[in-house]
Structure 1
Amino acid sequence: MSKPKIAVIISSTRDSRFGTKPAQWIFDLAKQREEFDVELVDLKDYDLPFFNEVASNAWAPSQDPKAVAWQKKVAEFDGYIFVVAEYNRSITGALKNAIDQAYVEWNRKVAGFVGYGSVGGARAIEHLRLIATELQMVSTRSAVHIGGSEFYTVWGGGKNEPMSAIEGAIGQSAKDMLDQLSWWVSATRAQRAADEAEATKQAAE
């Protein structure tokens, strides 16, 4: 069986965004692990319209080709690391719209989180955990929160130092999150395969 595929999703699409920096950092850390295949997925590359389908694709196939292309991309992965900007105590509109453009493709997959901002994206990540529950996803207990002085150390509007400057503060959280992601990806992937085999068996009877 091939390695599980993990997407590192950059959730901010602003021209002045900071998210590419922590996204590259967690991507590099995840890529060092032998059990994953990892891909950077930038919402900016997908030019998604505002959700305007008759219903979620849990109930009706989507019609917009950009939405369908996004669903196919989401379906490729066994787990996701969301790199989370916090806008007014929640996730970005771009991320919420991207999540809403799919449903079945997220189901029974795993979500980990890297948040940033003055409080480390904590409130946005809590909102995203609730959304993940509705999507039938498993969330890792641990997340990476880049906040306070650590954020101002690496943020472009602050000292703009490399991510290595704060690894002493956030490195263990990243390891814990990736360890939990690995465990849950293995468990959910095996169960999805078992469910698929059982459905195939029943269809043949």
Structure 2
Amino acid sequence: MVKIGIILGSTRPGRNGEAVARWVYDVASQRTDVEFELVDLLDYNLPHLDEMMPPSMGQYAQPHTQAWASKIASFDGFVMVTPEYNHSTSGALKNAIDFLYGEWNNKAVGFVGYGSVGGTRAVEHLRLIAAELQMADVRAQVALSLFTDFENFSTFKPGQHQVDSLNATLDQVQAWSAALAPLRAA
């Protein structure tokens, strides 16, 4: 069975991302053909990148990097839940991505963005990063607006059309994750 990690890409106090990631997980968990797991960056307490060797070498010295690498290696694909800060993703998510290399390779990734313009600029940056990591980013994405999908910019209340967008994203991540399995096995 394909295993997909839903990565909560914000560590900010009072973050909207927690409600968004739980919604993604709740919708995804209704499927019986894929296994999903919510991965909260707060649980990994990653400092600013502190490995001496480049991640492409796969020689991780720090216990926190080894734990993070083990978790990411256990998945066939990902859904990244990202806020948009200053036209990009969060520093915490970028840092977590930068810790590793091979563990991301040949895996599918989909995106759920949130912000004033739906997190679309953050997602565009993540697509560029995914390409460098040899990830297959899917076309479908979810763009949640702080103006229409949140009450008072803080209480998450997505419209039904967002569930449809999420399901399309999950469909594509599942299909591409399965299709890339032979490359991961090689």
TM-score normalised per structure 2: 0.94
User: Identity percentage over the alignment?
Assistant: 45
* Structure having the higher Rg: 1
Q: Deviations over 1:33-86 (max 9, x none)?
A: 111111110001111121122232312501111111101111010011100111
1:170 aligned residue: 162
Q: Pairwise mapping of residues 125-204 of structure 1 onto structure 2 (< 5 A)?
A: 125-147=123-145, 149-153=147-151, 155-156=153-154, 160=155, 163=157, 166-193=158-185, 195=186
- Residue ranges of structure 1 left out of the alignment (5+ in a row): 196-205
Structure with more of its chain in helix, by fraction: 1
Which amino acid is the alignment partner of residue 106 of structure 1? W
Cα deviation for residue 97 of structure 1 reads 0.7
For the residue of structure 1 that corresponds to 2:148, the secondary structure is helix
Distance 1:155 1:185 in 2: 34
Q: 1:120 aligns with which of 115, 118, 121?
A: 118
Structure with more of its chain in strand, by fraction: 2
Larger relative contact order, structure 1 or 2 (CA cutoff 8 Å, min sep 6)? 2
Cα deviation for residue 148 of structure 1 reads 5.2
Distance 2:101 2:5 in 1: 16
Which amino acid is the alignment partner of residue 177 of structure 1? T
Q: Does 1:85 align with 2:77?
A: no
Which amino acid is the alignment partner of residue 179 of structure 1? D
TM-score normalised per structure 1: 0.86
The CA RMSD over aligned residues, in Å, is: 1.5
1:75 aligned residue: 73
Distance 1:175 1:99 in 2: 24
- Residue ranges of structure 2 left out of the alignment (5+ in a row): none
Distance 2:62 2:3 in 1: 26
Change (3 A) 1:170 1:154: farther
Cα deviation for residue 192 of structure 1 reads 2.3
